[in-house]
């Protein structure tokens, strides 16, 4: 229970979080000190860590042990995001941004630093520590303190031989390490299980979709008229430049301008179609240069317009602006002050904005990164039933390969349960079936006469 501006809020576990927590407890009872929570993107992994701060505090206190909790991230924006969520749920969230701060935290026996007695978690950004070989040399071991690490997004920056993870292991051999990911590494040369241990609990996207915690996606292909237009643009660039690198071609104004026009028109039409001007879009560009050119063209043409077609956009690249600038622009997008984001690699994982409902995919993304990117638009928002992916790059083959690899991994774990697993994307057959159901429902109504149809609909309203 937490106090908010709107009064008291009660925080209740989702069933997937409950069973994951009980699975963690079971592993601890068996003496197993590490493992992976494989829960799909958008299913509440940070919330799971929050609930476990409470649950595992009680678990260890019954044994006369005092736990200290850490949430490990690898990006400053994810640190800020985690701190916001923990704080909003009533935890005291400390942040660690330097080696000295972390060493100091390790040396302090005290696990509660606040006067109110609220439970605490320390959020650690490992970017500050990646190249420090002497980090966390902790020889001051205390048997009465149990450190519990939740490592966020363990499909990314955790190299078993890298300085931070190796030293994290060595800093306290008794520590509990729980990896959180929606897309574990499963290739033969890199497997999350080899680093973090076996899966403790699994909750894949089909269950999350069925439970209403995430949305299915609809892939939207590109209209033929645009494909013809782009083919002509490529010919013109070839005449101007000769044989050049594709990235240079794709960042050329003659290529970018029609692509951007298609995106803007599609985005405006979508707002009309959904009768919702609050939705936002993200454009995943082929390169940083293309993103810069696209933003430049946008500012010159579309940002200057007035009226209903006026849009705003931000360019989010690691070498554009300051961290504070980027942080503010991301917050502005979440709050609906910015309509479109132009990105290359940033914000493709870990970024959570419910109003983001249109993803414009301008390049092929591979393996787990593809699933991470696609699911930026899968968060529930108002009455939306789907997130939408406008596919400039034709990802169908890559998606099928990636999805099959994860389904095969799940097959090994779940066996016959895999029969219930469905696709992330709404299939053509499912869409056609829904259209047929609508036609069947409207069969007895006079669609040719709007006045009669209106009267028939009114009669339905009157009967309610």
Domain ranges of the chain: 2-203, 216-395, 434-463
- Burial code of 74-102, b = ≥16 C-beta within 10 A, e = fewer? bbbbbbbbbbebbeebbbbbbebeeeeeb
* Residue 427 half-sphere exposure toward CB, CA atoms < 13 A: 6
Task: Phi first, then psi: give them for residue 457, nearest 5 degrees.
Answer: -65, -40
What is the model's pLDDT at position 464?
45
What three-state secondary structure class fits 341? Answer: strand
Question: Which position has the higher pLDDT, 387 or 402?
Answer: 387
8 A C-beta contact, residue 166 and residue 177:
no
From the candidate CATH numbers 3.30.1330.10, 3.30.2290.10, 3.40.50.300, 2.60.120.200, the one assigned to the domain spanning 216-395: 3.40.50.300
Residue 119 has pLDDT above 50, yes or no: yes
User: 317-343 pLDDT, tens per residue?
Assistant: 999 999 889 999 999 999 999 999 999
Residue 373 has pLDDT above 60, yes or no: yes
Q: Please give the full DSSP string across 84-146, using - where no structure is assigned.
A: HHHHHTT-EEEEE-SHHHHHHHHH---S--STT---EEEEEEGGGTTT-TTTT------TTEE
Extended beta strands in 285-400, E state: 313-316, 340-343, 356-361, 386-391
Domain 2-203 CATH class label: alpha beta
Instruction: Compute the distance between CA of residue 275 and CA of residue 352 in angstroms, rounded to an integer.
Output: 23
Q: What is the pTM of this model?
A: 0.79
DSSP classification of residue 443: T
pLDDT band, residue 263 (cuts 50/70/90):
very high
Cα radius of gyration (the chain): 25
Query: In sequence order, what are the beta bridge partners of 118?
Result: none
8 A C-beta contact, residue 271 and residue 335:
no
- Does this chain's domain 2-203 share its CATH topology with 216-395? yes
What is the model's pLDDT at position 450?
62
8 A C-beta contact, residue 266 and residue 344:
no
């Amino acid at each position: 229970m937490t106090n908010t501006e709107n009064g008291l809020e009660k925080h209740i576990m989702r069933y997937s979080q409950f069973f994951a927590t009980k699975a963690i407890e079971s592993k601890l009872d068996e003496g197993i000190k590490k493992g992976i929570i494989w829960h799909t993107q958008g299913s509440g992994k940070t919330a799971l860590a929050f609930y476990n701060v409470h649950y595992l505090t009680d678990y260890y206190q019954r044994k006369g042990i005092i736990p200290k909790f850490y949430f490990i991230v690898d990006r400053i924006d994810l640190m800020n995001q985690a701190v916001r969520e923990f704080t909003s749920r009533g935890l005291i969230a400390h942040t660690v941004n330097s080696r000295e701060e972390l060493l100091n935290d390790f040396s302090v026996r005290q696990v509660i630093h606040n006067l109110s007695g609220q439970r605490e978690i320390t959020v650690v950004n490992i970017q500050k520590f990646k190249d420090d070989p002497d980090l966390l040399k902790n020889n001051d071991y205390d048997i009465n303190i149990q450190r519990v690490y939740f490592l966020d997004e363990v499909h990314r920056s955790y190299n078993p031989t890298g300085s931070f993870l190796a030293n994290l292991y060595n800093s306290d051999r008794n520590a509990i390490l729980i990896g959180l990911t929606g897309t574990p590494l499963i290739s033969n040369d890199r497997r999350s299980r080899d680093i973090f241990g076996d899966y403790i609990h699994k909750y894949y996207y089909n269950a999350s979709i069925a439970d209403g915690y995430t949305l299915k996606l609809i892939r939207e292909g590109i209209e033929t008229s645009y494909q013809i237009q782009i083919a002509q643009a490529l010919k013109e660039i070839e005449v101007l430049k000769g044989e050049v690198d594709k990235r240079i071609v794709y960042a050329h104004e003659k290529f970018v301008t029609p692509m951007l026009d298609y995106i803007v028109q599609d985005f405006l039409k979508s707002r009309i179609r959904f009768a919702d001007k609050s939705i936002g879009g993200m454009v995943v560009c082929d390169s940083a240069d293309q993103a810069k050119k696209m933003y430049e063209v946008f500012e010159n043409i579309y940002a200057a317009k007035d009226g209903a077609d006026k849009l705003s956009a931000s360019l989010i690249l690691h070498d554009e602006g300051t961290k504070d600038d980027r942080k503010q622009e991301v917050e502005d997008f979440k709050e609906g002050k910015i309509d479109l984001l132009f990105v290359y690699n940033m914000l493709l994982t870990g970024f959570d904005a419910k109003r983001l409902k249109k993803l414009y995919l301008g390049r092929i993304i591979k393996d787990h990164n593809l699933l991470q990117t696609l699911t930026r638009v899968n968060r529930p928002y108002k009455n939306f039933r789907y997130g939408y992916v406008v596919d400039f790059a034709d990802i169908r083959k890559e998606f099928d390969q990636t999805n099959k690899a994860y389904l095969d991994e799940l097959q090994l774990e779940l066996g016959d349960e895999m029969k219930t697993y469905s696709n992330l994307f709404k299939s053509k057959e499912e869409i056609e079936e829904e259209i047929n159901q609508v036609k069947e429902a409207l069969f007895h109504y006079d669609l040719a006469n709007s006045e009669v149809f209106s009267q028939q609909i009114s009669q339905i309203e009157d009967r309610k």
